[in-house]
Amino acid sequence: MHLTKEEERIYDGEFCWANQVCMKILVRLGELFKAKKLIPISSSHVSGVSYKTLGDAPTEFLEALAKANAKVKVKSTLNPQSLDCNFLCKRLPSDLYEKQMNVLNCFEKMGFTSSLTCTPYYLEKPKKDVHLAWAESSAVVYANSVLGAWTNREGGPSALAAAIIGKTPDYGMHQAENRQPKVLVKLEKPLLDDVEFGALGIFLGKILKDEIPIIQGLEKASKDNLKQLGAALATAGMTNMFYHKLPRIKTEKIEKISVQTSDLKRTIEKLTTTSTKTPDLIFVGCPHCSLNEIRQIAKLIGSRKIRKETEFWVCTSRHIKEKAIKHVKKIERNGGHVLTDTCAVVTWTEKLGIKTIMTNSAKTAHYVPTLNKAQTILAPLKECIKKACEG
């Protein structure tokens, strides 16, 4: 890699240990992927914020960086933490709360914005064609595919290093030639609901590897549905982008895949791992809910009450919760819980006695059997709310 004189000085340790370590992380990453230089970024988004998924050793690294006075150079946001301070912190052991607060304090000292959301684009939408260093896989796919920004799927350490240096290696999705579609996906029938969009993402993620698809038939899809598709696509594979509108290229010579209704049905069935009809938790908000989704949930609940036997969580960012306060109050007045800063996947649901989770998120259904030691029921939003209210 070619480094500027200033970058070389940082690499050689002339600007403190923290900057040197971060520069070395970026240079090693760039060399690994044969990048020729570093490029400036407009923002960074860091994963590895939840103490549940982070653990003690990475926390010690964060403490060392903060103690060395590391500071972010660009707008830098954070993924969800392991609990929220109004609901879950009262139900989980106090030592977990203290360890999580220590992690957040380290990030705060370095100048990170405590967004604590997997949808940073709702806080501030990146401009088209800007370069980012984002680590949350669902946000990466959304940024590249829906917003027209340019970002690789960073790891937590490389996104952290990019935030402190203000640059990232120039490879992968930062180069136009690597953003060309390789596969044309044809749907047998239009997708009907949020679960089918998620199922399509899981199905394609497993067979595409890292290839970029054009998916026909999504021209009228909502941004919320595209968010579910992208999150699931990133969950099951390494694809960082999809086209939902036909780009100006010749498609005659690229590979073609036909997705049948039966493919989606089988995918949904596999993501439902239990035959029980009574979930302990009904969870919506992975990725975090948009303003429109909060509004839709409140409308679907209507005048009904959430059954006391079943917990109903809606997860979103503080930014969206404040904008949707009227709808939030209705959901909570009717027995639901609107949580911020966290989600079911990165908290200790097993410590709360939750053994079965019903969700409309294919990403959640894919992860919780392993991360939460829970059985899953994957169902559309309407069915989730019906189950929450009527059993």
What are 151-192's pLDDT values in tens digits? Answer: 999 999 999 999 999 999 999 999 999 999 999 999 999 999
Q: pLDDT tens for residues 338-353?
A: 999 999 999 999 999 9
Return the H-helix or E-strand segment holding 215. strand 213-215
Q: What was the pLDDT predicted at 219?
A: 86
Give 254-309 as a DSSP string: SEEEEE-HHHHHHHHHHH-----S--SEEEE-SSPPPHHHHHHHHHHHTT----TT
Output the pTM of the full model. 0.96
What would the two tokens of residue 244 be?
């939902």
What's the pLDDT at 159?
98
CATH 3.30.499.10 intervals, the chain: 5-176, 272-390
pLDDT digits (tens, 9 = 90+) for 113-134: 999 999 999 999 999 999 999 9
Question: Residue 358: beta bridge partners?
Answer: 282, 377
What is the rounded average pLDDT of the residues 218-222? 92
Q: What is the CA radius of gyration of the chain?
A: 21
Residue with the two structure tokens 């220590």: 102
Q: pLDDT at position 229, please?
A: 98
pLDDT over 80 (residue 251) = no
What CATH architecture does domain 180-270 belong to? 3-Layer(aba) Sandwich (3.40)
Mean pLDDT of 268-283: 94
Kindly report, residue by residue over 14-73, the tens digit of the pLDDT: 999 999 999 999 999 999 999 999 999 999 999 999 999 999 999 999 999 999 999 999
Identify the pLDDT of residue 377.
97
User: What pLDDT does residue 276 have?
Assistant: 84
At 258, phi and psi to the nearest 5? -105, 130
Tokens of 33: 């992927």
Sequence-distant (6+) residues with CB within 8 A of 322 are none
CATH architecture of 272-390: 2-Layer Sandwich (3.30)
What would the two tokens of residue 265 be?
Answer: 């049905």
Cβ count within 10 A of residue 252? 7
Question: Per-residue pLDDT for 275 more than 90?
Answer: no
Q: Percentage of the chain surpassing pLDDT 70?
A: 100
pLDDT of res. 384? 98
User: Quick check: 191 and 217 in contact, CB under 8 A?
Assistant: yes
Residue 250 has pLDDT above 80, yes or no: no
Neighbouring residues of 54: CB distance < 8 A, sequence distance ≥ 6: 48, 103
C-beta atoms surrounding 111 within 10 Å: 15
Residue span(s) of the chain under CATH 3.40.1060.10 come to 180-270
Mean pLDDT for the chain overall: 96
pLDDT at 231 over 80: yes
Q: pLDDT tens across 80-117, in order?
A: 999 998 899 999 999 999 999 999 999 999 999 999 99
pLDDT at 235 over 80: yes
- pLDDT, residue 139, reads 98
pLDDT category at 249 given cuts 50, 70, 90 is: confident
> How far is the C-alpha of 48 from the C-alpha of 81, rounded, in Å?
8
pLDDT digits (tens, 9 = 90+) for 280-300: 999 999 999 999 999 999 999
DSSP H helices in 45-155: 51-54, 56-67, 94-109, 137-142
Provide CATH code, domain 5-176.
3.30.499.10
Residue range 256-283: average pLDDT?
A: 95
Query: What integer pLDDT is reported at residue 349 of this predicted model?
Result: 97
